Structure 1
């Protein structure tokens, strides 16, 4: 009995002790909470008391207080050359032992001693709703009431399509009304005077030569594109200039500068002009290229929704659009469902990209050509500079600009011939500076389009902010072959739609990212062109804002493309660089053409029938551990050999043609692994 009483007393004592501990902990929690509140108030007082500070400093200090909630991930690491770029996600739930975060925090402590700079960027975490977009209870009730009165989804989508067709019909009527009154100017006779005067070197038709034209090479014999030089080749009469100028002014006066409200209203429920996304222009034989690119894109970790714009219903591949793409968070959208039939008859290849951008669902778009393959996950581009501020990013082409000064006169754009705003020549090259502005590149002057031609195999655009850019570029593309393409390119290499977007938005941000040409070694010890690498604009932007980030160029350049004594192939504008895209456009990865016909001599086998890397070992040097060529082959094997998918211009499964393709792909993979 005594033992039982003692046991009950012990139990009561233990319970009382535990209760006391709980009370003390609760009291301590509220005390610490009040102390924390006092600390935040005192922090704000401290910030406001410091001369020259404001809320921005307060926000920075608050961020330091909350630093334990930040999760870090490496994005670009070249500390040997003084730069580490990391992504930082605030407010994330993370393990205190998160290895990458702890490692990067240690680097913050060592950066001054080890002499490297850490630059923070934002990660891409998918779509998020800002607090201001949250619906109130009243709004929820209104939405519920609206839902009761909603149309049948099929009818609602038909209304959206009808509205879009009407919108496009209006654009086309305005285009028709603003056609220049003179006949087409894209003729040899407009170069005849240059041929007769023979003042500058020219082609046999009097057109401007490109000199191999590769901007990176800086050939000594390549003339500076001065005002006098650019206006020399392509000539227009006064009547032609007046006609083009009048038509251009008329178009601008009544041009749509924003998407119509009724289009946004009907399109809202179908995701039109909403969110971020990646789009491709596919259809027919291009679908096999698109599938390879999307397959690599998803392998790299991209979660961005994808749309494949198909020009016509006849280009629709059922297996791809209904079975494969939905599993990859992608879908097909047929352009002719949203564009009047009469307009589709007028649209050619150069106009399709423009139309695809307008028809695509997303507000913020990364456009990729079907033959463009990502090397890094591009999702992060949407939430960082330079896109974050400019809302439009374009990448450069191989050549220097050839745009005629006549274009600026026709478009009503003032170019200040006495004001140089940039230097398109590398440091130390005397051609980039002169006291006489008529001796420097015309496109280094204020008001002119930047010197490098643009390459639209990839481009980013906020369609809401730059809606007028898309509508004006429609004009340039619709009348491009007859009128505007010769003004932009003067008959030289690369004539087409690629200059229309930057011309329509001259004041857009043109990143200083550079290209690289990839291919096997050819004649004169020069690289052949098999594909173009385009660089990460984030890494370039980081360096554009820092000091001493430019590479040291050659002291002397090659005379021309035949001069094998000097090579500027390895030169990069910035010390550090990171490839983002491979524009695999010559040859393209059409599987039957590449693996059955060796891309007519430009495929995986050389002239002696020996296997080779398409982009040489230099690509491996640029991409490090990521062998993009090997990954392309593996992803082709994945869809062409491991599935029974039917695609346009791809031999059917189990046929000899398909088997031969798979045999060649497997052999090339073995070569790349063993080579």
Structure 2
């Protein structure tokens, strides 16, 4: 993102301007220096209990792995964009009980149903191509171009506007007291995601994270007693059983599934400052320090980038009342001279490029409570209306844009991590790259780089999260899909990760898997039909391979 340029009055004396600039620089340095606790940025692998396997990370190598494909950097640096925070009236409805809050919010959402047919009418059979953020495509995602796909009629537009404009002030009239406290992490579990959440929690504890963890269990079929009553509590984690948390009246209103559950997990988690992680997202370093430092302290929301250019329909801005500038561009461009060809999502007021990736998301519920409510509204009507509006059918359509969209709609603050998402994986013998995960980077270092005065001041940022989404670290699926082999030869699925995170990430994760399933022999429904001896033999074999082939 690119900051707005401030103009000085020419009549002001130049010496005064110089003095002000010097003073501003000194103040900025003091603020930045005081905001970072140097000891917070050092990650140490520690053991918290007898159930935690020790594994010291190896020292990162100076040289980059020869075969590792590095992500393309943005053509020009993306700077921060000024946001004019809207002044809102003080909320009058103070809610102190969680179930009352949930019932109130869901009743408002249900009452705001636009009651129009699902949005699936496109101008032609053509769809927007998936264009990478850094690709020099000849296609310009201008307002005119993005208007050529999803089509809404006047009745649909008016109904959607009415719904949105009516619910926002009702959300903004709500505040809470003593419902959300402290910092923590929340996952969405259920089915095979119970196993993946356990793996993620185990990884967090092994790297030294002390944040409490909550795992939302969506329904009765997903509840596993041993996991929730014994295993997770031993790791300072607990289950949030959704029917019990919401109560029967509110739970009966739900028609949720898939991606929608993530916005619900934010609502029901007990933390004021919360890191939402996908169950298959593994922290490479301790994330606890994010809550105590910039940019989170001043912005209150952090989102991470996806690979793609944004394809949000102009009708979304029409419906939500977001004012997008037609001539003030805040992201850099290369070839466009005519303003009508400027990419819509380079313009001030828009959801800026690139698209978001919601495998990790951080929110302060005190400063962004209404953003959370509005994102829940977008997700409640996501499959029918807001997912098509925000993505128009491109890859990854789902909840991922709703969190940033809510903040932009309410003119609240946020921070978009500037460092491009990294494709983690390996090269096959034929040169074909096989991606297995998305690497996301440390927002603290990313922020410091954005305010650095010289290139020498910049460092990193280091990779903080490894979203292992395809394939997932599920031993049965890895075996069935033969993801650990190329032909008959065993391979490292993550490729040369040591140069990216500083230690043998794949060995670290497979030792965790070995400890949980083969040493502790934890029982989970997803492995109920599997032969434990055979499964553990395969895990042992891969661990041995990783040790012998560092």
TM-score (norm 1): 0.65
Aligned to 1:632: 509
1:274 lines up with 2:164 in the alignment: no
CA displacement at 1:548 relative to structure 2: 4.3
1:540-589 alpha-carbon deviations (Å, 9 max, x no partner) = 111111134499xxxxxxxxxxxxxxxxxxxxxx8733100000011111
Secondary structure (helix, strand or coil) at the match of 1:499 reads helix
Aligned to 1:383: 292
Secondary structure (helix, strand or coil) at the match of 1:373 reads strand
1:650 lines up with 2:527 in the alignment: yes
Aligned to 1:291: 198
| Cα pair 2:133 2:353 within 8 Å, conserved | no
Mapping of 1:483-502 within 5 angstroms?
Answer: 483-502=385-404
1:622 lines up with 2:500 in the alignment: yes
Secondary structure (helix, strand or coil) at the match of 2:208 reads coil
1:252 lines up with 2:168 in the alignment: yes
What are the ranges of 5 or more consecutive residues in structure 2 without an aligned counterpart? 1-18, 44-94
CA displacement at 1:222 relative to structure 2: 5.0
In the superposition, relative to structure 1, how do residues 402 and 575 fare at CA in structure 2: closer, same or farther (>3 Å)? farther
| Cα pair 1:420 1:437 within 8 Å, conserved | no
The RMSD of aligned alpha carbons is 3.0
Aligned to 2:128: 208
Aligned to 2:222: 315
Match of 1:663 among 512, 537, 543: 537
| Cα pair 1:168 1:340 within 8 Å, conserved | no
In the superposition, relative to structure 1, how do residues 304 and 313 fare at CA in structure 2: closer, same or farther (>3 Å)? same
| Cα pair 2:379 2:386 within 8 Å, conserved | yes
1:421-470 alpha-carbon deviations (Å, 9 max, x no partner) = 222x6xxxx24xx4432222211111001111111110110011101001
Secondary structure (helix, strand or coil) at the match of 1:338 reads helix
| Cα pair 1:591 1:650 within 8 Å, conserved | no
CA distance in 1 between counterparts of 2:430 and 2:144 reads 32
CA displacement at 1:248 relative to structure 2: 1.2
Aligned to 1:538: 444
1:144-187 alpha-carbon deviations (Å, 9 max, x no partner) = xxxxxxxxxxxxxxxxx9943333222222222211132111x2
Aligned to 1:165: 99
Mapping of 1:37-52 within 5 angstroms?
Answer: none
Secondary structure (helix, strand or coil) at the match of 1:519 reads strand
CA distance in 1 between counterparts of 2:460 and 2:223 reads 42
Match of 2:473 among 571, 585, 589: 589
CA distance in 2 between counterparts of 1:173 and 1:384 reads 36
CA distance in 2 between counterparts of 1:496 and 1:169 reads 24
1:383-402 alpha-carbon deviations (Å, 9 max, x no partner) = 11111110110111111111
Relative to total residues, which structure has the larger helix share, 1 or 2? 1
1:505-555 alpha-carbon deviations (Å, 9 max, x no partner) = 02422221321011233699452321101011111111111134499xxxx
CA displacement at 1:374 relative to structure 2: 0.4
1:223 lines up with 2:139 in the alignment: yes
| Cα pair 2:182 2:273 within 8 Å, conserved | yes
Secondary structure (helix, strand or coil) at the match of 1:633 reads helix
Aligned residues: 469
| Cα pair 1:395 1:459 within 8 Å, conserved | yes
CA distance in 2 between counterparts of 1:252 and 1:208 reads 30
CA distance in 1 between counterparts of 2:331 and 2:544 reads 48
| Cα pair 1:375 1:582 within 8 Å, conserved | yes
| Cα pair 1:406 1:487 within 8 Å, conserved | yes
* Relative contact order, higher structure (CA 8 A, sep 6+): 2
